[in-house]
Amino acid sequence: MPFTLTTPLYYVNDRPHLGSTYTTVACDAIARYQRLQGQKVEFITGCDEHGQKIQRTAEAAGVTPQAHCDAVSARFRQLWQSWQISNNHFIRTTDPRHRAIVEQFFARVEANGDVREGRQQGWYCVACEEYKDDPAAAIEPSCAVHQRPLEWRDEMNLFFRLSRYQEDIERLVASPGFVAPASRQREVQNFVAGGLKDFSISRLDVPWGIPVPGHAGHTFYVWFDALLGYLSALLESDDPPDLELAVSRGWPADLHVIGKDILRFHAVFWPAMLLSAGLELPKRVFGHGFLTREGQKMGKSLGNVLDPEVLLERCGADAVRWYLLRDIPFGEDGDFQQQRFSDLVNNDLANTIGNLLNRTTSMARKWFDGGVPPAGAALESSHPLAVAALAAADPFDAAMGALEFRGAAESLLRLAETANGYLNTQAPWKQMKQPGQEAAVGSDLYAVLEVSRWLAVLLAPLVPDLSARMLSQLGQPALESGASASLTWHPVRQWGLLRPGDPLPEPVPVMQRLELDSPL
């Protein structure tokens, strides 16, 4: 079975932002790691394109909802291509085949007796696409999230009988590992313990949506529709729109990665819907935290939104990926601080890792005919750098498997620091001035170059471009971890694979220092 991984389907009311980039970069690192481990990966992302919010946004812009969705979805797709995100599925919920999957899924749920008609009454936030709990006592009811007035709704809707699945969902969310991290699991358990209520799955008089078969005037509530995108995304381009076929292509999902604000939809509503339809449940739902900027929530009104296109242009993908994955404990809230961003990138990538490779390659080329030095004692498994390199792999793998990107990055930094310390202690620039020390110097430089190769290999899921540049400087082929990857990295995770005498390209800095003299 493949490893199936999903980002949320991003809502197209507005352009992509750093939060969606953060989620997608994290998923890309997971996907690349799994491919290098030998897994076939189904990496799903895409756009959620229905609902009243989209309809009103398009009307305000003077375009049709479809034209609006086409433009914003294209922007998401292009952005992920620019960031070299390795997804092999991009689903849009306006895809006609998605509509067919939704209809087939709904037919199963309705046949199971889990759809009823009822009155929905309350204050509704169009921006959140959901009813809010009892703000009616307020003089001017408003959404705390979007700071917008709420609208009073009183209409007949179709409801999904979520209450029937109380015990099933209680057991599910209490099971180890289904909801992560632990703080999110407690949050979901508390929500479920409060009692599950049937939830509305249709809206009246909202034409921008998928019509509910057999229920005139009803369109599917955006969350019922959008969650099914994880199934319709699995269809190949020439597949007929068949639910069972989609499921056979890679369901259940191994991992849903989402922002914590949509946790209950994925960890409670979605599993209940799947149980009703007789389908397997996802294996894990991971809710990560939010990003702030310099201690403040990002927003248009504050003028402090970080544009991922600007970040990519000014800083490059490696720098941003490293900072997001290395500095923010995955699952917790994080704060983007520009000075810390540039300091970490410069210290970690340009200095500790990049300069290690650059200066060692320069010495090797200068003293050993432009190539890899003789290995000598460096090939022995007891060599201190061999021991350090092999020892770094286990914590790196453990951290990546646990989605602890920070721990994975820190294990590589410790290895680079060990190699830098070894180089400074051995001081080959001094040894070469002493007669008869050429073999010892060659062995020392070989060991450091081999550590650099290990670093490049292990960096591939986190910063694939930097990994490729480092391997190129060592005269080695890049590791392919993208959507078309077919080889694992196990053959290259062995000590002593650099071949003495092989030419080393003229060194150039593999990571440029960030010099950010103005706000991003």
Q: Which residues pair with 371 in a beta bridge?
A: 503
* The predicted structure's pLDDT at residue 137: 46
Domain ranges across the chain: 3-288, 339-492
The tokens describing 86, both together, are: 């390795």
* Pairing state between β 130-132 and 115-125: antiparallel
Residue 453, CA atoms < 13 Å, CB-side half-sphere: 26
Residue 188, CA atoms < 13 Å, CB-side half-sphere: 32
Backbone angles phi, psi at 433, to 5 degrees: -85, -10
The tokens describing 423, both together, are: 């180089």
Per-residue pLDDT at 339 exceeds 80: yes
Preceding amide of 503 cis, omega within 30: no
Cα torsion 139, 145, 149, 153 to 10°: value is -90
Instruction: Say how far apart CA 203 and CA 372 lie, in whole Å.
Output: 68
Instruction: Say how far apart CA 465 and CA 461 lie, in whole Å.
Output: 10
Preceding amide of 464 cis, omega within 30: no
| Average pLDDT of the residues in 153-160 | 87
Fold identical between 3-288 and 339-492? no
Per-residue pLDDT at 133 exceeds 90: no
Instruction: Say how far apart CA 11 and CA 284 lie, in whole Å.
Output: 22
* The predicted structure's pLDDT at residue 300: 67
Instruction: Say how far apart CA 369 and CA 443 lie, in whole Å.
Output: 15
Contact 481, 86 (CB under 8 A): yes
Three-state DSSP class for residue 3: strand
Question: pLDDT class for 146, splitting at 50, 70, 90?
Answer: low
Q: How far is CA 517 from CA 33, 141, 339, 369, 520, in A?
A: 35, 44, 10, 41, 9
Fold designation for 3-288? Rossmann fold (3.40.50)
* The predicted structure's pLDDT at residue 15: 85
Percent share of the chain, pLDDT over 90: 84
Could you say which DSSP state residue 503 is in? Answer: B
Per-residue pLDDT at 302 exceeds 90: no
- Encode pLDDT of 445-465 as tens digits: 999 999 999 999 999 999 999
Per-residue pLDDT at 136 exceeds 70: no
Stronger pLDDT, 51 or 90, i.e. the higher one: 90
Helix (H), strand (E) at residue 6: strand 3-11
Question: pLDDT class for 138, splitting at 50, 70, 90?
Answer: low
Per-residue pLDDT at 116 exceeds 60: yes
Q: Which CATH class is domain 339-492?
A: mainly alpha
Three-state DSSP class for residue 292: strand
Give the closest residue to 101 by CA, choosing from 209, 254, 210, 206: 210
